[in-house]
Structure 1
Amino acid sequence: MGKRVTMFIAMIFAVVGLANGQDITVKGVIKDQQNQTLPGASVLVKGTQSGTVTDVDGKYSIGVPNAQSVLVISFIGYGSQEITVGNQTQINVTLSADLKSLDEVIVIGYGTQKRGDVTTAIASVSTKDIEERPIIQAAQALQGKAAGVQVTQPSGKPGSALSIRVRGATSVQAGNEPLYVIDGVPTMDTRDLNVNDIESIQVLKDASSAAIYGARASNGVVIVTTKRGKANQSQVSFGAYYGFSNIAKKINVLNPQQYADLMNEMGNNVTVGSQTTDWNKEVFKKGHNQNYQLSFSGGTDKSKYFVSGAMTRDNGIIKPASYNRYSFRANLDNQIKSWFKLTTNFSYANAKIRDVKDNNNAGRNAVVLGALGAPPTMGIYTQDSIRGTIFSTNPLKAGWDNPLAAMYGPTQAAKDNRIFGNVVGDITLAKGLFVRSNFGIDYMNHSNDYYLDPYRTTEGWGSSGSTHGLGNATRSNSFTYLWENTLNYEKNWNKHNFSALAGTTVQKNTWNNSYIAGRDFPSDGIVKTMNAANEITDAYTEQSEWFLNSYLGRLMYNFDSRYLITANFRADGSSKLAKGNQWGFFPSVSAGWRISAEPFMQDVKFINDLKLRGGWGQNGNQEGLANYASYGLNTYTRRTPTVPPSGPAVTNPSYAPNPDLRWETTTQSNIGIDLSMLQGRVTVTADAYLKKTNDLLLNVPLPNTSGYTYMPRNSGKLENKGLEFVLSTVNFDKSAFQWTTDFNIAFNKNKITDLQLSKIYRYADVEGRSDQIIILQEGASLGTFYGYIAEGVNPETGDMIYKDVNGDGAFSPSDRTILGSAQPKFTYGMNNNLTYKSFSLSFLFQGSQGNKAFNASRLETEGMYDSKNQSTEVLRRWQKAGDITDIPRATDGNVNNSLISSRFVENASFLRLKSTTISYALKKEFANKIKLSRASIYVTAQNLLTFTKYKGFDPEVNAFTSSGATLGIDYGTYPVSRAFVAGINVQF
């Protein structure tokens, strides 16, 4: 049973069957040292792309061109063997166990490579536990699993994207997310990918591994390979799970009487009437998530298939937020001729997202802060003489709806239809010489509709007269095509191994968008489409496109897998830049030395493998550039028509055009070591790196006399440097009980090293405050908090005391200073897998240490400056002279006691039990009796425990995601939930 599970989960590629016209047929059986057959073992004709895999009984049959042909037999977890055919037609092979086989093939950019020959920093993430975790996005599979890959969940809202930083952020205004490559097609969004279709994930972390992707690789590259059919192994798989989620942490607020006491203290006349509401209870509900997956795979040596369909539903803990997705995939492999293979990857996804407003808002439509701040003395509904039953509003704050009005008042939903895939043709020109042509598409159709009926909320009514309903509609289409052509040459002689790759690629995107908004809808609220709007308040269409043309090359050489060297080069030309700066050139080189293969190491028996490697390279940042970044674009404003017509008013761009705009370029050096000891029971990987980003893109402010607000300019430098360690151990390995541990830890230091022209940049506005939370300046890191130092409450006045930083004896904005950083000192993860007979237990810990968070939500829940409810922390507020406390007095309309200060900067370090799973697999004998090849049931808990001193809902959230500088700010953000899931997986 274990070998069969290994085959289905861990095998990276199903190699292609040999086609017609071959002269010799070789058959045999592949077994292990215990004389057990190995189904799914790979049998490859060396120097070609022809091969097969063993069937369920470990048998294979393959055609070879001649007696000089060499068969390469391998199986994940076992050492490979190479056998010359000669005059043999029956070749049986016994493979020896090798827990961390150096012959395992992993995917790299535009090809594959044996793990033992890799000279760069590549993290391979096992996806074997995906089937037993409620993972919706591919990025979730990386959390806590790869050193130097920090995956955070800025918002717990269903369908919201995760944030990934590979060895730290490299940009401020350009993108910081890695490039994803799914089956050879680059993309920036994997939310529509069905996670259960994934076979393997590789993260290219350093420049020498990622440079083959050039202008898009400065933030790392995540290569995703989806599943494929296997010859002579027809299989039907079904998986399903259902679970529920709830809020992981509660923030207590004042009850009705406590709230009334506070308001009366502030000079408002509030009494506790018959209507009271626990808004936390009304807003935070139980969420539900479910998934159903069905796949079919199989085929022959010449034609293989993998077809899957899935339905995913995630209903959040704040209604009506939800994410529903239907997906379909078809992966086909066809050996048309002995020299020609055709591969097709096709996927379709339909996703519907219901939204609620959560981020960056303390006011009338903030759902999360509304749940904390809505007066508990207010009911949910009220009666209006004109509108009937409507959502009630804050009686002390005209026009402020209660949070349920923001949740249920509007009808709003986004729909995405996405087609993604490619067709790949592989032609063998001669022995060791291959041509590949790859044509891919990524088409997205997006729609978003919003409707607010005339009588439900104050937004539909308006503060100065009825809008009689509001509505808007957005429609957009994005189409990207990719065409790549590469030539690959491989030559092996004696102990020399050489390969060369050269190619060209073009990629083009066209995008168009239309928007229309209106008001004054019918009173019955039945027709919600824009044709029912009596007044169109806004309407426009827009379109843009970009084009990327690239040339790439790679040389790889190794001698006896002992001395290894790889060199990459890519040239990218982008339409986003002006002539003279459109081309970027990105070289890299890396080398490795397998020390354990040297004669002087032969007597060191406890070391199985020891390799030293180092690399250098340059990458660029294409995704962060706007389509017309170097050009100034005029805007058009409608005006009263003239006779004869004279067209709209033309407004010059707010920013100055810059024809000298260039790429951001990141140069990275890496040195690492790979060590395997005690027959593979202990493996260690360690890396040290230095990343320097030049030509940092910034919007440099310009004086008013220039006529422009700013100029996009290459105006700074940024540095990341760090250490990474990975330790994998086999702690216990007996027939009935196994225990393995994988631990990783990464240290990264981020710093702005140079800013030109403007030396200070400010980010992250807060409602009702004139300051920003984040500062960008030389010597500081991204995510640096800036404000006043709070030194406690004056026991005589009850006001907050702020430190006189500059020593001038007065309190002024010049007393602001650096308050901390959201950058962690280190991140870590630890995964344990324990198996006893048919039972398995796995648990994953994820942690971050040394990072701060700015709890902007506390500005509102402890500010006591208006009619919003407050947290129970304010029960300790100053009320009379002589009170000793850290909570200042209540005021009315005065925010001076809750300025942006160290008072709200908190320790956001955490240790989280990210997931834990208990599963049971039916014994093979029993499963076979009921016509199953495999069956298992499991129970999983996610985010079960979080150990942190942070006072907010969750230390990972971030309300501001538009800039690389704005990190670690919690401002009414949708909290991450705790989930419990039960599921089943069966295979026929």
Structure 2
Amino acid sequence: MKNIFFLILFSFLSFTAFSQTSISGNIVDENNLPVIGANILAEGTSVGTITGIDGDFTLDVPAGVENIVISYTGYQSQTIPLQGQTQFFITMAEGQVLDEVVVTALGVSRDEKALGYAVQTVSSESIKDANTVSAIDALAGSAAGVQVTQASGAAGAASRIVLRGQTSFNGNNQALIVVDGVRLDNSEFHSERSLGGVANSNRAMDINPNDIENVSILKGAAATALYGIEGARGVVLITTKRGSSAGLKVDVGTGMTFSNINNVVGLNDEYTQGWSGQWAGPSTAFIPSAVSWGAHKDDLYWDGSDYKWDKNGQLTTDATAGPKFVPYDNVNNFFETGTTWNTNIAISGGSEAADYRFSFGHSDEKGVAPNNTFTRYNLGLNLGSKALDDKLDLRFTANYAKTGGNRVQQGSNISGVMLGLLRTPISFDNANGNVDPANDVSSYQFEDNSQRNYRAGGGYDNPFWIVNNTPFNDNVNRFFGNISASYAFSDWVNLRTTLGTDFYTDNRTQRFELGSRNAPAGQVI
């Protein structure tokens, strides 16, 4: 009898906990056409559904729910009380759509619908959220058809922006960059020797992303006609921030991001340096052989001898000699966690007759390779004034940028980081057992100043030698800005003139220490 009682009780509780009401209905718009894909949600829960091709829906509403919420993009949302009903016939009204205002090639704000060509706009919030050093990198993924490609993962490396595809095999396919109506030089110069190479910056790197109000992407021929043949590749039209009549405003912001290597090239991790199945260290002369691999890692032990190339001694197959050999992970032991730190301060304000904005920005980027750094300082000034019953509009903008850093050799050259790093065998420790190898000279250099690497000073540079003894330093000072005047003769006639300037100095120094494989006698460029 007790078993029967408990069974009845549990059945009742189960029914109470999971009781629900099934509702159905149809949703149409103001023209009595079905709204396909409208969302129906039981208020206060995650239970919902969408309308089908005829605007119909069914939904099992959990107990206790009093309302359903109807929503669809472009229409006004509705909250509808259930009140015991199971059938619903709903008409959705269109929401208020705001016309998007964009900046044209002439620098004039226009309703996007009134234009005869395609324009895409990227807001300042989208650029701010990206928290990148480069304004070009901030545009990646922000608009359809915009291709942003980083030349390297190194700090301060250039980025390419292509809007209309690759139209030339050997020419420049990048979009033209215009800031406040003035064309901006986006050149990338290479000055290093033919056997070396670093990741240089292009000059769009001098723009402070935090000073950008919006970016208009112009692709069509009509949009770029004003800029001639340069505009044929598309135009990135940047409008900088101004002050407002809302009064004094102070903006302070800082952001930090971290970066790491996300993919490591697969390398030989089974066999050591040597030939014919025998281990051979750096001190052994290199003997070319058709059988080019050394002993297998599982067959080797450290002998603990005094051996300048390794603190553990030499490798031997004698199991009684000492500790078992454990392969060195030179790739992962070389790279670090990169950081990017952006700090910005802006003071702005104004009245109905004038406005002002002054800004300061500092960006500090540390790459994933040791000693790879990039720093930028920005100062910006934007002043505006109106006169003659607001018919005359005067504006002055000035921007100063100081950029530079320490860049590391890369690419396929014997003093390049990756070539030396990827060719180092698992039996040689580039770090020489040091905890902070990039800042410990004994990792890459002997007391007589000769280089320590897996080829006894020949072959390829030790990666830690590269980041310390082959520095490439650059220092850029740049000023760009403009003075503009606009006079409105009537509502449909406006005369505007702009005088702009853009100039910079770029000083670079490349040094190769004595003993570098790219310049054994040393060199300064």
TM-score (norm 1): 0.35
* 1:351 and 2:365 are equivalent in the alignment: no
1:37-73 deviations in whole A, cap 9, x for unaligned? xxxxxxxxxxxxxxxxxxxxxxxxxxxxxxxxxxxxx
* 1:101 and 2:63 are equivalent in the alignment: no
Quick check: 2:488–2:495 contact (8 Å CA) kept in 1?
Answer: yes
- Cα drift, residue 135 of structure 1: 1.7
1:419-459 deviations in whole A, cap 9, x for unaligned? 011011123345643322211111111000122333x6344
* 1:366 and 2:380 are equivalent in the alignment: no
- Cα drift, residue 200 of structure 1: 0.8
Quick check: 1:234–1:298 contact (8 Å CA) kept in 2?
Answer: yes
> Which residue is 1:171 aligned to?
168
Q: Percent of aligned pairs with the same residue? A: 26
> Which residue is 1:294 aligned to?
345
* Shift in CA distance, 263/304, structure 1 to aligned 2, threshold 3 Å: farther
* Shift in CA distance, 205/383, structure 1 to aligned 2, threshold 3 Å: closer
Aligned partner letter, 1:470: Q
> Which residue is 2:467 aligned to?
407
* Shift in CA distance, 143/458, structure 1 to aligned 2, threshold 3 Å: closer
> Which residue is 2:485 aligned to?
425
> Which residue is 1:122 aligned to?
119
Q: 1:237 aligns with which of 244, 251, 274?
A: 251
* 1:318 and 2:369 are equivalent in the alignment: yes
Q: How does 1:197-208 map to 2 (within 5 A)?
A: 197-208=211-222
SS in structure 2 at match of 1:425? strand
> Which residue is 1:457 aligned to?
516
Q: 2:241 aligns with which of 214, 227, 230?
A: 227
* Shift in CA distance, 296/151, structure 1 to aligned 2, threshold 3 Å: same
Whole-Å separation in 2 of the counterparts to 1:432 and 1:183: 22
1:256-306 deviations in whole A, cap 9, x for unaligned? 744557875844585676727532133211112111111111111111011
Aligned partner letter, 2:524: G
Q: How does 1:903-918 map to 2 (within 5 A)?
A: none
Whole-Å separation in 2 of the counterparts to 1:328 and 1:384: 41
> Which residue is 1:158 aligned to?
155
1:354-393 deviations in whole A, cap 9, x for unaligned? 211223x1x4222123222123333437799997144323
Aligned partner letter, 1:147: A
Aligned partner letter, 2:138: A
Whole-Å separation in 2 of the counterparts to 1:436 and 1:168: 33
Q: How does 1:323-334 map to 2 (within 5 A)?
A: 323-334=374-385
What value does the CA root-mean-square deviation take over the aligned residues? 3.0
> Which residue is 1:62 aligned to?
none
- Cα drift, residue 126 of structure 1: 3.0
Whole-Å separation in 2 of the counterparts to 1:329 and 1:232: 20
- Structure 2, unpaired ranges of 5+: 1-73, 75-92, 187-203, 279-288, 311-326, 433-441
* Shift in CA distance, 298/119, structure 1 to aligned 2, threshold 3 Å: same
Whole-Å separation in 2 of the counterparts to 1:296 and 1:422: 20
Whole-Å separation in 1 of the counterparts to 2:491 and 2:333: 69
Whole-Å separation in 2 of the counterparts to 1:100 and 1:168: 32
* Shift in CA distance, 149/313, structure 1 to aligned 2, threshold 3 Å: same
Quick check: 1:131–1:196 contact (8 Å CA) kept in 2?
Answer: yes
* Shift in CA distance, 122/252, structure 1 to aligned 2, threshold 3 Å: same
* Shift in CA distance, 220/289, structure 1 to aligned 2, threshold 3 Å: same
* Shift in CA distance, 413/267, structure 1 to aligned 2, threshold 3 Å: same
1:454-506 deviations in whole A, cap 9, x for unaligned? 3x63445x2xxxx2x3212xxxxxxxxxxxxxxxxxxxxxxxxxxxxxxxxxx
- Cα drift, residue 246 of structure 1: 1.1
- Cα drift, residue 201 of structure 1: 0.8
> Which residue is 2:394 aligned to?
342
SS in structure 2 at match of 1:137? coil
> Which residue is 1:180 aligned to?
177
* Shift in CA distance, 417/440, structure 1 to aligned 2, threshold 3 Å: same
Q: How does 1:435-584 map to 2 (within 5 A)?
A: 435-454=495-514, 457-459=516-518, 462=520, 467=521, 469-472=522-525
1:391-431 deviations in whole A, cap 9, x for unaligned? 32342893422222222212321111110110111233456
- Cα drift, residue 349 of structure 1: 0.6
* 1:303 and 2:354 are equivalent in the alignment: yes
Q: How does 1:788-867 map to 2 (within 5 A)?
A: none
* Shift in CA distance, 383/432, structure 1 to aligned 2, threshold 3 Å: closer
- Cα drift, residue 149 of structure 1: 1.7
> Which residue is 2:263 aligned to?
249
SS in structure 1 at match of 2:144? coil
* Shift in CA distance, 404/384, structure 1 to aligned 2, threshold 3 Å: closer
Whole-Å separation in 1 of the counterparts to 2:474 and 2:367: 16
Aligned partner letter, 1:185: V
Quick check: 1:242–1:289 contact (8 Å CA) kept in 2?
Answer: yes
- Cα drift, residue 175 of structure 1: 0.7
* Shift in CA distance, 376/384, structure 1 to aligned 2, threshold 3 Å: closer
Quick check: 1:256–1:377 contact (8 Å CA) kept in 2?
Answer: no
SS in structure 2 at match of 1:408? helix
Whole-Å separation in 1 of the counterparts to 2:370 and 2:246: 48
Quick check: 2:400–2:478 contact (8 Å CA) kept in 1?
Answer: yes
Q: How does 1:604-753 map to 2 (within 5 A)?
A: none
Whole-Å separation in 2 of the counterparts to 1:138 and 1:99: 33
Quick check: 1:383–1:389 contact (8 Å CA) kept in 2?
Answer: no
SS in structure 2 at match of 1:391? coil
Quick check: 1:151–1:162 contact (8 Å CA) kept in 2?
Answer: yes
Aligned partner letter, 2:370: K
Q: 1:395 aligns with which of 455, 467, 470?
A: 455
Quick check: 2:445–2:452 contact (8 Å CA) kept in 1?
Answer: no
SS in structure 2 at match of 1:138? coil
* Shift in CA distance, 281/390, structure 1 to aligned 2, threshold 3 Å: farther
Aligned partner letter, 2:508: N
Whole-Å separation in 2 of the counterparts to 1:121 and 1:232: 33
Quick check: 2:185–2:502 contact (8 Å CA) kept in 1?
Answer: no
SS in structure 2 at match of 1:345? strand
**Bigger strand share:** 1
- Structure 1, unpaired ranges of 5+: 1-76, 78-95, 473-988
> Which residue is 1:967 aligned to?
none
Whole-Å separation in 2 of the counterparts to 1:181 and 1:175: 16
* Shift in CA distance, 130/149, structure 1 to aligned 2, threshold 3 Å: closer
* Shift in CA distance, 385/246, structure 1 to aligned 2, threshold 3 Å: closer
SS in structure 2 at match of 1:218? helix
* 1:132 and 2:129 are equivalent in the alignment: yes
Quick check: 2:446–2:452 contact (8 Å CA) kept in 1?
Answer: no
Quick check: 1:205–1:221 contact (8 Å CA) kept in 2?
Answer: yes
Q: How does 1:258-273 map to 2 (within 5 A)?
A: 258-260=272-274, 264=278, 266-267=290-291
* Shift in CA distance, 365/457, structure 1 to aligned 2, threshold 3 Å: closer
- Cα drift, residue 154 of structure 1: 3.3
SS in structure 1 at match of 2:405? strand
1:619-677 deviations in whole A, cap 9, x for unaligned? xxxxxxxxxxxxxxxxxxxxxxxxxxxxxxxxxxxxxxxxxxxxxxxxxxxxxxxxxxx
* 1:142 and 2:134 are equivalent in the alignment: no
Whole-Å separation in 2 of the counterparts to 1:405 and 1:208: 54
